[in-house]
Structure 1
Amino acid sequence: MAEDVRAALASLGRGSNVVGGVALIGASPVEGRPVEAVVVMPKGVLIVIGVDLPDPALKLEAPLGGPWKADGWPLVHGDTSINPATDALSLSAACTHKIADVAPGAGPIGTIIAVGPYVETVDQPAADLAGSVRVLYPTATTMLAATVSLATAPRPRSVQQARDLIAALAPDAPPMPEEMLLGEGFSAFSDDEPTVIRENPLVAIAPTVPVQHPGKAKRPAKPPVLPVAPAKPAPPVQQAAPAKPAPPVRQTPPPAAAAAPSPAEAAPKPSRQSKTVKWLPVAAIGLLIVLLVAAISVASGGDDTASTQTPPPPTAATSPPPPSSSAVENIQFTSRASAADQKCASHAYGDVQSSLQQTSCSAVKRASFASSIDGRAAAVTIAVVEFPNAAQASAFKAIADNPGGGGILDLATETNQWQGEVPVFEGAAYQSSLDGKSVRLIQVVWLPGPSTPDDPGLVRGAKAALELPVNG
């Protein structure tokens, strides 16, 4: 299975656009017992161990603690193993202890049991899927789904931590440049190091100290020795509040209204109160006359200007918000994420990614929807890939429609915008459509799974999603 594992990992590409990490092919965490690969990722570690089956299978039932069945037939062995993965699970446990010893705090450590020579669908019990072991036939799709679900640390490990772990697992491997590890998603700083802005070596900001607005910061008793803060904080304060409030006062109508004191000012001065009371009705009458004249002027001029003036355009506050949900064929779809850009290949995997690397697209729009089909929760991912001409679009659709040929990554999964459980688009129902120079790709899975491509409910949801609007 080593070659299949290598091909599946390589198809995910370089950089952190997909998952990020470094795969150590043929590493031996336990001396003398090599595994297919150890994948050191920013938010976890994966141990990949291959298991050979007697023959290819369309469906493999693979409970970790019970016997396996291939297409309904039990897989019988001459030894005392419960199933073909018994030895692999034992090796995985030993590797997990070794990694935990050489790299304390390494984060989640998951295991992938890669089975072959070929399996179309692997069925694991729900209790096993809730753990840290996945049984799968290694393709770009299944490996991506496993890495997303198993590498779940809250923070990425630092470049130095990654180097230490790689050196412990593969002492003969050449050191990787810092720029390459940063590009794979590893952090420049460990959790116990202060965050330093490298562009200015005089500035050091502790990660636990919040940044204050210049207008609210307290002035130090003495001027700072280093130019960490601006030398003249006055300009930001002047921009925050106007320095001369007099003009607004001069713009108010008649001075008589401004001359009337407030009750708080009149209370402590009884000698002036009688004069004010006598003068106030006169001022009020004058103010009313002025307002009446102004109202008559406005009313008389309104008819003259009504025909020449056009109503102002509606402001953003009055514009209706974009719909957050849509209904197609009695299936409700609620938007979770949408975006558009021109980085088509970086959002793809497998043969689809290779195709987009050779033929650049004009744009790719992606959207993720939560749905309910026949009362059961489902997740929908949509990609609309646009090309300069129809011939390129048609050729791309043929590649995307090929089973196992890859696809476009789900936007909400990539940007952590799912609410609650993150869907795994393994065994998804698939639909596609060609509209001139654009190709739409649909995948729908149950949430939670498992899912199968021919599930009637998922197929109905995928066909309905062909009509959903996708706004980038």
Structure 2
Amino acid sequence: MRLVRLGADPAKVGADIRAAISAWGAGPSVLGGVAVFGCRPPGAPRPLDAVIVLPRGVVVVLGVDLPEPALKVEAPLRTPWTVDGWPMVRAEGAVNPGLEGLESAAALARSLQSRGLEPLPVAAVVVVGPYAGQVTQPTTDLHRGVRVVSPNTTAILAAARELATYERSCPVEPAQQLLHVLDEDCRLSAADLVEEGFPESGDTDLATADTMLIPKFTEPSAVRRLSRRTGLIAAAAVLVVVCAALITWLSADGPSADPPAAAPVQRVDGVEFAQRVTDRAQTCGPHSFGDVQRWFEQRPCRNLTRAVFETQVSGRPAAVSIAIVELPDEQAARELRELADAAGTGGVTDLVAEGRGWPGGPDGFDDAAQVVQQSGNEVRIAQTVWRHRASAPDDVSLRALAERALRLAPRA
């Protein structure tokens, strides 16, 4: 990550934002890209603490100063925020800082579009400080391209990785033009941008190319007649094979077993998740452990849905465990979220631990990265591990994957 500072920090927490992004280091080993601090793009409603230009997306970063450190910030987009249970009061700006983030991202996107630049997605990260122990957002708000996080390296990095998911990388020349929009004097050489992960040219990657754009080959008339004759012969051969198979099936004692259905696949932010196993239950106690299990003995759940998915992150295979707990009321859901999110308190047993894995699947989720989220009376717990290699709870890539997995909908 290359750093460019244009002006002073608009918010006090801006110093923490710069420190967090600076810790990523130069080059693409962590994330790459260019971070521009203290700029105000054309049409932006306010100066921005940072604009992070990445090969696969742009992230505007807004700092929000809290009156004092907070244990809990609830940050919905449609209603005012609450800080430790009290409504957030601001002397200036919108009552809801998340809306300012969306407005800033939309303004920058319009500026880029009006100039005909690379159509990179523009998202927003709102950083609240000086400290926020826990920040919660409704699940529906996550789909709108804004994240609210604490001012630390891991949280900002995970949010940027989750939001920058364009289908292909932005080449060097459009990236230079984009930086020029942020500030006329913000110029980096092509070599600088290549070092930060931007490709030199915009050659289409065949792995992501749309085959509908491949031109159709036109045959000469003689070759076309030969091709048509060959096609008729092949069609007749196929018909004979189909008839023979049908006769064999009718003469057998009964129909053979249906072939196994393909695993249901869901796509979140460009990442594909293939569902492997799923289970539904009306009780949670037998499928949990530790303090969480004892909690369920006093406060039974209504429904429990669990599933295991497989996916890939930058070509590395990973596994995802999802547990969705439906509780009688929102208060119970809040208690469970706080309990499950604390270290050493147990949790909901994943299906692999109950012997419900698949051949070649993960050995377990013991060292998984975990993210817990509450929405109303529902609690979602996502765990992610690497397959065939060691995992760690603080792995940034796994945590970003777990954030995406919270939006999965297991199918029966």
TM-score, normalization by structure 1: 0.44
CA offset digits 1:395-441 (Å, max 9, x no partner): xxxxxxxxxxxxxxxx953446457999xxxx97668xxxxxxxxx9
Q: CA deviation at 1:89?
A: 3.8
Is residue 75 from structure 1 mapped to residue 91 from structure 2 by the alignment?
Answer: no
* Aligned twin of 1:376: 306
Is residue 61 from structure 1 mapped to residue 110 from structure 2 by the alignment?
Answer: no
More strand by share: 2
* Aligned twin of 1:444: 369
Mapped contact 1:430–1:443 kept (Cα < 8 A): no
Structure 2 letter corresponding to 1:7: A
* Aligned twin of 1:22: 34
From the superposition, tell whether residues 458 and 54 of structure 1 become closer, same or farther in structure 2 (CA, over 3 Å).
same
Q: CA deviation at 1:87?
A: 4.0
Matches for 1:121-140 after TM superposition, within 5 Å: 121-140=134-153
* Aligned twin of 1:141: 154
From the superposition, tell whether residues 81 and 166 of structure 1 become closer, same or farther in structure 2 (CA, over 3 Å).
closer
Mapped contact 1:38–1:46 kept (Cα < 8 A): yes
Looking at structure 2, the residues matched to 23 and 38 of structure 1 have their Cα atoms a distance apart, in angstroms, of: 6
Q: CA deviation at 1:142?
A: 1.0
CA offset digits 1:113-159 (Å, max 9, x no partner): 11112111110000001221111112111112111211111110111
**SS of residue matched to 2:36:** strand
1:189 pairs with 201, 213, 232, which one?
Answer: 201
Structure 1 letter corresponding to 2:121: P
1:159 pairs with 172, 192, 203, which one?
Answer: 172
Looking at structure 2, the residues matched to 125 and 140 of structure 1 have their Cα atoms a distance apart, in angstroms, of: 23
**SS of residue matched to 2:367:** strand
Is residue 97 from structure 1 mapped to residue 110 from structure 2 by the alignment?
Answer: yes
From the superposition, tell whether residues 378 and 55 of structure 1 become closer, same or farther in structure 2 (CA, over 3 Å).
farther
Structure 2 letter corresponding to 1:413: V
From the superposition, tell whether residues 430 and 163 of structure 1 become closer, same or farther in structure 2 (CA, over 3 Å).
farther
**SS of residue matched to 1:157:** coil
* Aligned twin of 1:48: 61
Looking at structure 1, the residues matched to 64 and 22 of structure 2 have their Cα atoms a distance apart, in angstroms, of: 20
Q: What is the root-mean-square deviation in Å for CA atoms of aligned residues?
A: 4.5
**SS of residue matched to 1:36:** strand
Looking at structure 1, the residues matched to 390 and 35 of structure 2 have their Cα atoms a distance apart, in angstroms, of: 36
**SS of residue matched to 2:60:** strand
Structure 1 letter corresponding to 2:119: A
Q: CA deviation at 1:6?
A: 0.9
CA offset digits 1:220-243 (Å, max 9, x no partner): xxxxxxxxxxxxxxxxxxxxxxxx
Mapped contact 2:69–2:129 kept (Cα < 8 A): yes
Is residue 2 from structure 1 mapped to residue 3 from structure 2 by the alignment?
Answer: no
CA offset digits 1:333-383 (Å, max 9, x no partner): xxxxxxxxxxxxxxxxxxxxxxxxxxxxxxxxxxxxxxxxx7534799xxx
From the superposition, tell whether residues 80 and 164 of structure 1 become closer, same or farther in structure 2 (CA, over 3 Å).
closer
Looking at structure 1, the residues matched to 157 and 25 of structure 2 have their Cα atoms a distance apart, in angstroms, of: 11
Q: CA deviation at 1:76?
A: 3.3
From the superposition, tell whether residues 42 and 419 of structure 1 become closer, same or farther in structure 2 (CA, over 3 Å).
farther
Matches for 1:185-264 after TM superposition, within 5 Å: 185-191=197-203
Looking at structure 1, the residues matched to 128 and 109 of structure 2 have their Cα atoms a distance apart, in angstroms, of: 20
Looking at structure 2, the residues matched to 105 and 414 of structure 1 have their Cα atoms a distance apart, in angstroms, of: 22
Structure 2, gaps ≥5 residues long: 1-12, 207-212, 216-275, 278-285, 289-303, 323-339, 345-365, 392-412
From the superposition, tell whether residues 419 and 10 of structure 1 become closer, same or farther in structure 2 (CA, over 3 Å).
same
CA offset digits 1:307-337 (Å, max 9, x no partner): xxxxxxxxxxxxxxxxx99xxxx999xxxxx
2:313 pairs with 396, 406, 413, which one?
Answer: 413
CA offset digits 1:57-90 (Å, max 9, x no partner): 1110000111111111222346794424444443
Looking at structure 2, the residues matched to 444 and 471 of structure 1 have their Cα atoms a distance apart, in angstroms, of: 12
CA offset digits 1:160-180 (Å, max 9, x no partner): 1111111221221242342x3
Q: CA deviation at 1:31?
A: 6.6
Task: Tell me which structure has the larger Cα radius of gyration.
Answer: 1
Mapped contact 1:428–1:444 kept (Cα < 8 A): no
**SS of residue matched to 1:26:** strand
Mapped contact 2:308–2:321 kept (Cα < 8 A): no
Structure 1 letter corresponding to 2:373: P
Structure 2 letter corresponding to 1:442: D
From the superposition, tell whether residues 19 and 2 of structure 1 become closer, same or farther in structure 2 (CA, over 3 Å).
same
**Percent identity for Structure 1 against Structure 2:** 33
* Aligned twin of 1:117: 130
**SS of residue matched to 1:442:** coil
Structure 2 letter corresponding to 1:44: G
Mapped contact 2:20–2:153 kept (Cα < 8 A): yes
Matches for 1:257-296 after TM superposition, within 5 Å: none
Matches for 1:316-465 after TM superposition, within 5 Å: 375-377=305-307, 413-415=313-315, 417-418=317-318, 442-446=367-371, 449-450=372-373
From the superposition, tell whether residues 166 and 117 of structure 1 become closer, same or farther in structure 2 (CA, over 3 Å).
same
**SS of residue matched to 1:450:** strand
